[in-house]
Structure 1
Amino acid sequence: MGLFRFKGFPGKGTFPHGIHPPDNKFFSADKAIEVFPTPAKVLLPLLQNIGAPCEPVVKSKQQVAVGELVGKGKAFVSAALHSPVAGKVKKPAMVTLPNGRHMQAIQIAADEDQNPGEVLWEKLSAKDWPTDCISIYDPATISKVIHDAGIVGLGGAAFPTHVKVMPDENKMIDTLMINGCECEPFLTPDYRLMMEAPGAIVTGALLAGRAISAKEIIICVEDNKPLAIERLRRITAQTVIRVAVVQTKYPQGSEKQLVKSVLDLDVPLGGLPSDVGVAMSNVGTIAAIGMAVIKEEPLTHRVISVSGGGIANPKNLFVPIGVSVGELIDYCGGLTKDAARVVSGGPMMGFSFSDMDTPVTKGTSGITVLTHEDVDRENETSCVRCGRCVDACPMNLVPTKLAMASRYKNPALAVKYNINACFECGSCTYVCPANIKLVQLIRTGKQQVAAMNK
């Protein structure tokens, strides 16, 4: 940790509690990003962000171009939706997202002989990203471009990014933190993006920093990614951006934990990083900002990992939003004989699902295919009061109390125990010797609380 302190950050590079699961990055960390061929059709759910769904602005049989607006985010916390292909709009469809929510979707049949992904990836991975002309962009203009481009958090949360960069007189932002930790096991899209498109990240960070008038910009990376750290340090050397190297630990990439690790600031319970003068964004999101402002490209494609022991040939892919999971799995050689579970995201915070027609959304950071060995667990037994879940919880909660309040349908008690402060990292479930499905119970408890408050 001497190196961390030498760089002048007030934090210690770590946070209280947390766990150290095997990162399993070896499946895909060394696989260069491949551009996925244009699929025959895409299916675009109207809800691809935290907040309200967007509203369709196209009709059946309408011809659309690549990047054309097809859904308008009319609510404040919503995001626009753009077509990733040129093609014809088909009848609306219904899809079930991995979290179980049913949602209307725009269906577009792609024209033949096109591959916009190749063009976009060439722009994203270019070497000529500017760093010395950011001042020509007005902060209000940057914010508007982010809004119009439909950019959301690509780390998985999918919070509309324009909301984060809008000026707020009540919350002055001093520091912009760019999250490149990628602590979720198996997933490597952020790592590959830092390796292959660092210029877009750096320019995007400077633009986002200007939009919020941040005095300091910090890119945060776990110390298990030395090549990405070296690359980022080299490209940021002539800029105001600093690179913070933090300890590899789960869930280091969580907002509150990363603020503690780097800045030694405590985000209040139920609060946001903005309450302590910090704005945070994922490296993929920041690269999308660069694409929108400098290259005038809305968010239509993203990098994802298809990884795990249950996939024949793990890859990192640059894919159009709306392509089906089944097509990605087929492109990666299909499932292995011991494949047992398909997860949207990583194994700690992702959602298991079985419908391979499920489309990739803006918030899909990866597809993890687990084996029977990965998922086999002993049967659940009674809580032994060992306290391991308490020791692991990065939010200083008592997960067993939250789970039992949920199991016995007592939402008022769950609120008393601060159930909504849990961000479902899965650390408690991982360490539980009784194999109690704590996170699933806590999710159910949150639904009970929401129903109680209606």
Structure 2
Amino acid sequence: MALFTFSGGVHPDDGKEYAKNSPITEYLPKGDVVLPVGQHIGAPAKPIVQKGDQVLAGQKIAEAGGFVSANIYSSVSGTVKAIEPRVTPAGAKVNAIVIENDGEFKEAEFKAKPYQDMTRDEVLAAIKDAGIVGLGGAGFPTHVKLAPKDPDAIEYIIVNGAECEPYITGDYRIMMETPEVLVEGLNIVLDLFPKAKGIIAVEDNKKDAIAKVSDCVKGDARISVAELKTKYPQGAERSLIYATTGRAINSSMLPADAGCIVDNVATIVAVKEAVKEGRPLFRRVVTVTGDAVESPKNLLVRTGTNVNELIEAAGGFKGQPEKVISGGPIMGMAMFTTDVPAVKTFSSLLAFTKDPVSAVEPSNCINCGRCVSVCPQKLMPARLSVLADNNNFEAFEALHGDECVECGCCSFICPAKRNLAQSMKTGRKQVLANRRKK
């Protein structure tokens, strides 16, 4: 059987062996939790608690600040200690609600109307109220994604189980341990779009997960499992849509314009918990892994937990790592401190004994064209990076630099080790900023 894939891409060592066999274990924070009001794309949430207030786990503490925004819930019981700027895993300082953890983890009462009695609007309202955002890393509010202009035009709900970034294994463990919950969540979303079919897309380096999920969808005419070729960035939205449906989108389009909606595995599970249990989003699976981690693990983590606690839960570091990353090794962010909270979009912490990137000095381009051959958008990264570095953004836009998806394939494959992806990212951001000014 031919595997589903896209044109371009690279084949990094997947590093999954460190944590893939570690079952998901719940971790309860010991210290204070820090909950930034901006854990999502869009407007930050607005605090509805004050210093000194007593809160329960699962209690709403900040309300969505606009249409594209998301509610924030306390992940522990305790006392609001402060509302002040704190550093996030991305290195930014944002306003955050600090809760002194009483260690009792008393929960608010979660209520859910029987699913069979819920209307479409009630299901969407439950997802919105729960504060669910894309847990693959982007953090786009899920209720917005599930409310396209024309619901009847949606033909495919694609569950992104590719987990193509090396080392991360959280979604893999969900598929291995609770595939039936994933399928239940997908059926809830499919009920919102009667004309749509569901596709659960999984890379073929996870054949055991493919088998588990396939068993769960036997006899379900609405859902199929697509076995993807293992290649990065197979899980990128454009790549995934093309691989599974043959439809192409560009930067001026949304997936809904191609009749598709894409959500990752953890997000779909969160939808099920919100709709059928009334449980808001205040926990997620985080992979702590890498060759500098003593005992790599997949942890069910309460949002706001200090990342240093997660490192300790994984046995600590083997000496001092040269590089620590929030997210995947290709699209993730290098961290200058681990004294930060695990937010909704914090999928993993990677720690490495050696930093192969800093060990090599970039050299001149040799015009080999490898960056063009691996670019999923068929751009010319070597030329575009020079234009961006020289602030020639008009020429950058003329060569379609704004179509870059910032996947990093060009930097990965470049024999001269040039910082192509960083330059492309800067150029793209400037083009978009110039458009907004106009």
TM-score exceeds 0.5: yes
CA contact (8 A) 1:171 1:274 kept: no
**Cα distance in structure 1, aligned partners of 2:432 and 2:253:** 18
- Structure 1 stretches of 4+ with a deviation exceeding 6 A read none
Give the equivalent residue in structure 2 for 1:123: none
Quote the residue 1:187 is aligned against.
168
Q: Which structure 2 residues correspond to residues 59-78 of structure 1 after superposition, within 5 A?
A: 59-78=50-69
Of residues 17, 23, 34, the one that matches 2:25 is 34
Question: In the alignment, what sits opposite 2:291?
Answer: 309
CA distance in 1, matches of 2:329, 2:363: 22
Matched with 1:252 is 234
Specify the code of the residue in structure 2 equivalent to 1:283: V
Q: How does 1:17-166 map to 2 (within 5 A)?
A: 17-114=8-105, 136-166=117-147
* Partner residue, 2:213: 232
1:327 Cα offset (Å): 1.3
Query: Which residue matches 1:197?
Result: 178
Do the aligned partners of 2:24 and 2:298 also contact (CA within 8 Å) in 1? yes
TM-fit CA distance, 1:410: 2.2
Gap change, CA 1:91 and 1:241, over 3 Å in 2? same
Alignment of 1:401 with 2:383, yes or no, is yes
Q: Deviations over 1:314-370 (max 9, x none)?
A: 100000001111111111111112621110001010000121111111111111112
Q: For 2:349 and 2:152, how far apart are their aligned partners in 1? A: 36
C-alpha displacement at 1:447, in angstroms?
Answer: 3.9
Where does residue 332 of structure 2 map in the other structure? 350
2:360 aligned with 1:369, yes or no?
no
C-alpha deviations, 1:150-202, integer Å up to 9, x for none?
Answer: 00000111110001111413872011111101000000000001111212211
- Give SS of 2:362's match: coil
Whether contact under 8 Å (1:165, 1:212) holds in the other structure is no
- Cα distance in 1 for partners of 2:116, 2:234 equals 32
- 1:448 to partner: Cα distance: 3.0
Structure 1 residues not aligned, in runs of 5+? 5-11, 121-132
Percent identity over paired residues: 37
In the TM superposition, what are the counterparts of 1:375-390 in structure 2 within 5 Å? 375-390=357-372
- C-alpha distance in 2 between matches for 1:438 and 1:207: 41
* Aligned-partner residue type, residue 15 of structure 1: F
* 1:327 maps to 2:309: yes
**CA shift in 2, pair 1:206/1:338, >3 Å:** same
- The structural deviation recorded for 1:208 is 1.1
Whichever residue aligns with residue 22 of structure 2, its letter is: K
Equivalents in 2 of 1:386, 1:157: separation in Å?
A: 32
Q: What is the CA distance between 1:38 and its match in structure 2?
A: 2.7
Q: Which of 401, 423, 430 is the aligned partner of 1:419?
A: 401
Whichever residue aligns with residue 152 of structure 1, its letter is V
- Give the distance between the partners of 2:93 and 2:428, measured in 1 at CA: 19
User: Number of aligned pairs?
Assistant: 431
* Secondary structure class of the residue paired with 2:305: coil
Mapped contact 1:251–1:425 kept (Cα < 8 A): yes
Deviation at 1:214, TM superposition (A): 4.2
Which of 287, 296, 303 is the aligned partner of 2:269?
Answer: 287
Deviates more, 1:162-171 or 1:97-106: 162-171
Which is further off, 424-433 or 235-244?
A: 235-244
Amino acid of the structure 1 residue aligned with 2:310: L
- Does residue 218 of structure 1 match 2:209? no
SS in 2 for 1:157: coil
TM-score, normalised on structure 1? 0.91
The RMSD of aligned alpha carbons is 2.0
Equivalent residue of 1:290, what SS?
helix
Separation of aligned partners in 1, 2:152 and 2:425: 30
Deviations, residues 410-444 of structure 1 (Å, cap 9, x unaligned): 22222223333212111000001111111222222
For the Cα contact (< 8 Å) 2:132–2:141, is it kept in 1?
yes
Residues 278-308 of structure 1 show CA distances to partners (whole Å, capped at 9, x for unaligned) of 1110010000000001111000000010010
1: CA distance, partners of 2:308 / 2:140? 26
Residue 326 of structure 1 aligns to a residue whose secondary structure is helix
Which amino acid counterpart does residue 22 of structure 1 have in structure 2? D
1:125 paired residue number? none
Q: Do 2:152 and 2:195's aligned partners in 1 also have CA atoms closer than 8 Å?
A: no
- In the alignment, the residues of structure 1 paired with residue 433 and residue 225 of structure 2 have an alpha-carbon distance, to the nearest angstrom, of 43
Query: Any idea what SS the aligned residue of 1:92 has?
Result: strand
Q: Are the aligned partners of 1:138 and 1:211 in contact in 2 as well (CA < 8 Å)? A: no
Instruction: Evaluate the alpha carbon distance shift between residue 100 and residue 447 of structure 1 in structure 2; reply closer, same or farther with a 3 A threshold.
Output: farther
Aligned equivalents of 1:179, 1:95: Cα separation in 2? 31
- Asked if structure 1 preserves the Cα contact closer than 8 Å seen for 2:238 and 2:249, the reply is yes
Contact 2:159 2:198 in 1 (8 A): yes
- Structure 2 residue ranges without an equivalent (≥5): none
Aligned mates of 2:105, 2:356 — CA distance in 1: 39
Aligned equivalents of 2:151 and 2:224: distance in 1? Answer: 27
Greater Cα shift, 182-191 or 349-358: 349-358
Give the drift of 1:374.
Answer: 4.0
SS at match of 1:234: helix
Residue 265 of structure 1 deviates from its aligned partner by 1.3
- Counterpart amino acid of residue 86 in structure 1: S
| TM-score normalised by the chain length of structure 2 | 0.94
Q: Name the SS for the 1:339 alignment partner.
A: coil
| CA distance, structure 1, for counterparts of residue 401 and residue 54 of structure 2 | 47
SS in 1 for 2:208: helix
Contact 2:37 2:45 in 1 (8 A): yes
